[in-house]
Amino acid sequence: QAMLDAEPGIDAAILDMNIAGVKVYPVAERLRERNVPIVFATGYGLEGIEMEWRVFPVLQKPYTAEQIARALLQAIPLTNK
């Protein structure tokens, strides 16, 4: 979250859903407030994502560069930019 305070110009974010047992929802909420396109990355599939956040694209690990590009393109229209 400190990075969000220091970096005002984030264009998009790919967030790993579970980092050392900590969910990324607080970071995702801050990004959503700033209209930053969000993509979630997970090894657990949609079941590991709360319903509120399932509107955002999800990358299933492992993923390819093509899948990343496609997910980011899907995420952009979900913002209010």
pLDDT 10s digits, 44-58: 888 889 999 999 999
When pLDDT is cut at 50, 70 and 90, the band that residue 7 belongs to is low
**What is the spatial distance between Cα 65 and Cα 46, in angstroms, rounded to a whole number?**
20
Hey, what CATH class is 2-76 in?
Answer: alpha beta
- The pTM of the full predicted model, rounded to 2 decimals, is 0.85
Give the integer Cα–Cα distance in Å for 23 and 21.
7
Residue keyed to tokens 């998009």: 12
SS3 35: coil
How far apart are alpha carbons 29 and 55 in whole angstroms?
Answer: 13
